[in-house]
Amino acid sequence: MDVFQKCEEYSLVREVRAAGVYTYYRRISSAQDPVVSIDGQKVIMLGSNNYLGLTTHPEVKRAASAALARYGTGCAGSRLLNGTLDVHVELEERLAHFMKREAVLSFSTGYQVNLGVLSCLLGRHDIAFLDNLDHASIIDGARLGFGKSFKFKHNDMADLEGKLERAPSSHGKLIVVDGVFSMEGDVADLPALVKLREPHGARLMVDDAHGIGVFGENGRGIAEHFGLEDQVDLLMGTFSKSLAAIGGFICGDESVIDYIRHNSRAQIFSAAPPPASAAAVIKAIEIIEREPERRKRLWETTDYMKHELEGLGFDTGDSASPVIPMLVGDDLTAFTMVSRLQEEGVFTNPIITPAVPAGRAMIRTSYMATHTREHLDRSLEALSKVGRELGVI
């Protein structure tokens, strides 16, 4: 059999392109603002993870520009060898202070954090317990490790408890969940997870990529939101959402972070994050601390859109975050709706199988602190029109 045969047999994209509704890899020719440009058309952006609107903040851009002028475009090596700059150290110290953790280690991408952390921590006598809606990077990181992994039903604590009870007591146990599930927009049942982990001697890791900057009184994420920061052993975050750059980090106890620093292949065999990105994140943290009103505006927008979308008849599931999906049914309907919405001046994202079960394709929307009520109301008009046109509502 030819290893490329599967490529010839892959037909979904060809079918969607033939239908004229292919909406992946769209070329945006402007910044990630509430309104973006696509092929000369101005479109309201309801598909960005720029939750606090800091990606285009003047101070963030100036910080990145200054780092670019000082250090150049890259580090020309790994952090382990020649690639650690003083700005990387400053970033990790700043993040540790902000997150109230002993230590932080940054990675070049958020995906690499989960790959690198899980693959190096999970040995032959360890078991990972994963929510079946965990991000792909968590699934892949667990696969790369030498330990076993078991999935439990989404946010189903009874299913998790049963799996924990059947696990040998001689094995190390690590529960890994998303803080905010990136497609559905719902949140992990952290209080229940904490209660379950203790009697089974399990550790808990939370991927809070979509929670940091958004949840908690100070923006430290889901653990702060629930008042359980001291109960989460490892907390992962990315720079590509609220923190306005590219990269990711893991934070926890110094001994654990130091072990990851020297044993994670994704860390020691990857080039260091670009200095401009590190400087941008430092400035973004400063703005988050001094401007809590950004988070307040984001939640006002989130509550408004959740209420209005449900009022129109959309099924938004259990979303409890600025990620608000709308169930539409089959994959082709999702592509068609996203294409029509773009024609009406609104950018959204199609979520199809295998990211969701067959028949449960959805339109994913996400919101920014910088959206105005005019942006939202114009979007609702388009969503109502297209939703009725396609029989979704």
Task: Please give the positions annotated as active site.
Answer: 182, 210, 241
> Could you tell me the two tokens for 200?
């089974």
366: which strand partners?
323
Length of the chain in residues, anyone? 393
Instruction: Give yes or no for a cis peptide into 34 (omega within 30° of 0).
Output: no
Q: Are 110 and 209 in contact (CB under 8 A)?
A: yes
**Residue 301 phi, psi (nearest 5):** -65, -45
- Residue 249 bridge partners (DSSP): 106, 237
Cβ neighbours for 85, distance < 8 A, ≥ 6 positions apart: 71, 75, 272, 275, 278
The amino acid at 267 = Q
Phi-psi region of 46 (alpha: psi -120 to 50; beta: other; left: phi over 0): alpha
**Could you tell me the strand order of the sheet in which 35-38 lies?**
35-38, 41-45, 346-347
Decide: 249 and 104 in contact? Cβ < 8 Å: yes
Residues with Cβ within 8 Å of residue 207, at least 6 apart in sequence: 114, 134, 135, 137, 138, 176, 177, 178, 179, 236
Can you state the angle between helices 190-197 and 157-166, rounded to 10 degrees? Answer: 20
**Distance, CA of 60 to CA of 240 (rounded, Å):** 13
